[in-house]
Amino acid sequence: MVKLLDFWAPWCGPCKLMNPVIEELEKEFAGKAEFEKINVDENQEKATKYGVMSIPTYIIEKEGKEVGRKIGVTAKSDLVKLLKG
């Protein structure tokens, strides 16, 4: 299954802007994709593992391998393209 990793932080303005977009995608891709929100303040180890330097960062994985990455405010259509692969 496709997975979207959403690296964010509560103080991040662009992350807050993107939150409704991610919520829409979660509804649209229910049963087709997994979504994991990763607070970089609470989970620096995972952010380091994925080489996340700025937020928001969205990483798309298929079968545990990274197949796409978007950094910053991203158009919903771009994330849809990545999720559909």
Report, as residue numbers or ranges, the catalytic residues.
Answer: 12, 15
Q: Tell me the C-alpha to C-alpha distance, in Å, between residue 76 and each of 13, 17, 52, 58, 79.
A: 17, 12, 20, 12, 5
